[in-house]
Structure 1
Amino acid sequence: MNNGMEADLERLDAFAAANREAYDGADPFPHTKIDNFVHREVLEGVLAEVEAADREGWSDMDDRYQKKSALNSTRQMGPKTRALIQFLNGQEVIMFLEKLTGIEGLVPDPFLAGGGLHQLRQGGFLGVHADFNFQKHMRLDRRINLLLYLNKDWEEEWGGNIELWDTSMKHCVKRYAPLFNRCVIFNTTDKSFHGNPQPVTAPDGRVRRSIAMYYYTNGRPEGEVSDAHMTLFQYRPGEASAKDKARRFVKRLTPPIVTDWIESRRN
């Protein structure tokens, strides 16, 4: 990809070298935040395409856990958006991520399973969760998320901030506003709880937009291995309703072989 992206690569390589240790030791799980991730004019062009796009190809998710829209078909995206996604899935960014995270053998996902363009309109949110851990089509383990935000002049009180929670789901440890050209990168495991649970309340019908890219490896460290699962949504303190509590009580009384079968059918 041209458009002066090479200068960004030199800066990112230097960032990876300087922040490798800080990334690994970040609380509550390995992550980092990088502002001005790509050249501003590159993202300006992408934003213009996304704003002008119609609704064809978008998927809407609206339930108790989330209210958002997503598009992962590159055929429905503009040329600048496709070019940026190809760059984010390309050799240079993969090498940067390996240097930053220390995870070798990263593989991008050309299918953008669960990724691509995401939008949250008024009232939109995504509950705190751990991500699905296995890409069935490529048969690979999910290891890294890269989220790039497209929101100009976004105010934190408008909601939609990404939150990183501790493993006990008692505290939000870090919170980042989804500012234009801000990138948040983090390891994904069964305990990397994150989301944007505060509903969007931006004025004038403004939409919270982002690009989500996921990276995989063939296998993962022994301490992170678990059965393949879909998204694991979590309750924040005081969030579970009486109905949910009753459901969890029934689950505790149900033999594991039955609950495992139900979960497999749901997935």
Structure 2
Amino acid sequence: MIDLRINPALDPAILGRSLQEKTRLQVANFLTAESASHLERLLTGNQIWYSTYNEGDLHFEVPQSELAQMSAPERAILMKNLNNGARDGFQYFFQQYYISNAVRSGENAGHPIHVMHAFVNSQEFLDFMRILCGAADIAYADSFASKYVPGHFLTNHDDKHDTYNRVAAYVLSMTRGWKADWGGNLVFYDHDTGNITEGFAPAYNTLNIFLTPQPHAVTYVAPFAGTQRLSYLGWLNRAEAT
């Protein structure tokens, strides 16, 4: 088994000065080359994907096999509803596999991609993130595998949650050869003006991390996108109050 490791050349204290000042940061070559290659293979080889979307406050996860069986009229209605939701409010549509939830529930036990849950909850990873974020009380992380293809998007929101005490969101981008023109960019908005203040394009073995809450989105992936936007993502959380 591959021992997943953070690039030892990275100093979380130095990087943390920038993150804590600017509230977001992009870090290239976050993992060792061997670790990144292994996690990339797990993503590209994963066959368990759910289309996830919302209807207002309701969240849905539909196995890709079920979505593929929709008739053309059924799919047209779904897309019309998603587009209307995106026009008027918060809306998302993409593919994911909720790794941490599967591990906790015993679903797909032993699946190779579940190693990501163990990695982001390892002492090495959590200690790095505590220093990076300036938050010694980070208690655990959760993990998702994420895939965006043409037509996928995530509209403006701030990641504030009523249940989970989130410190920061992380995206470990594992996408090669992406062009910013294809969309799928992680963008951040000025709270008052709505202007885009910064954007991170998908890349390979690159950590995007930002303190929460703050307004952000993933821009619409264009029909001409030449590959899949693949990543691992999740949140760094304080322990919930009891």
> Would you say the 8 A contact 1:159–1:202 is kept in 2?
no
Letter in 2 for 1:93: F
Residue equivalent to 2:176: 152
**Distance in 2 of aligned mates of 1:167 and 1:77:** 42
The SS at the match of 2:191 is coil
Among candidates 118, 121, 128, match of residue 96 of structure 1: 128
> Would you say the 8 A contact 1:159–1:201 is kept in 2?
no
What count of residue pairs does the alignment treat as equivalent? 201
> How has the CA–CA distance of structure 1 residues 124 and 4 changed in structure 2, closer, same or farther, with 3 Å as cutoff?
closer
Residue equivalent to 1:19: 15
> CA offset at residue 218 of structure 1?
4.2
> CA offset at residue 134 of structure 1?
3.5
The SS at the match of 1:167 is coil
Higher mean Cα deviation, 176-185 or 84-93?
84-93
Letter in 2 for 1:5: R
TM-score using structure 1 length? 0.67
> CA offset at residue 150 of structure 1?
1.4
Deviations along 1:111-137, one digit per CA (max 9) or x if unpaired, are x4xx501111111111121114243xx
**Distance in 2 of aligned mates of 1:91 and 1:200:** 39
Higher mean Cα deviation, 100-109 or 152-161?
100-109
> CA offset at residue 90 of structure 1?
1.4
Across the aligned residues of Structure 1 and Structure 2, the Cα RMSD in angstroms comes to 2.5
Equivalent residues in 2 for 1:152-171, closer than 5 Å: 152-171=176-195
The answer as to 2:79 corresponding to 1:53 is: no
Among candidates 24, 29, 39, match of residue 31 of structure 1: 24
Q: Percent identity?
A: 18
Letter in 2 for 1:24: Q
The answer as to 2:149 corresponding to 1:121 is: yes
The SS at the match of 1:11 is coil
Residue equivalent to 2:78: none
The answer as to 2:221 corresponding to 1:199 is: yes
> Would you say the 8 A contact 2:150–2:224 is kept in 1?
yes
> How has the CA–CA distance of structure 1 residues 197 and 4 changed in structure 2, closer, same or farther, with 3 Å as cutoff?
closer
**Distance in 2 of aligned mates of 1:214 and 1:77:** 22
> CA offset at residue 54 of structure 1?
2.3
Letter in 2 for 1:177: A
**Distance in 1 of aligned mates of 2:51 and 2:96:** 5
Residue equivalent to 1:247: none
Deviations along 1:171-190, one digit per CA (max 9) or x if unpaired, are 1111111101111111112x
Residue equivalent to 1:215: 236
The SS at the match of 1:18 is helix
Letter in 2 for 1:11: A
State the structure with more CA Rg: 1
Among candidates 161, 165, 182, match of residue 133 of structure 1: 161
Among candidates 184, 190, 212, match of residue 188 of structure 1: 212
> CA offset at residue 143 of structure 1?
1.3
TM-score using structure 2 length? 0.73
Letter in 2 for 1:116: F
> Would you say the 8 A contact 2:149–2:225 is kept in 1?
no
Deviations along 1:34-79, one digit per CA (max 9) or x if unpaired, are 01111233232222232233246x2422623122111112444875
Runs of at least 5 residues in structure 1 that lack an aligned partner in the other structure = 221-267
The answer as to 2:108 corresponding to 1:82 is: no
> CA offset at residue 213 of structure 1?
1.9
> How has the CA–CA distance of structure 1 residues 3 and 90 changed in structure 2, closer, same or farther, with 3 Å as cutoff?
closer
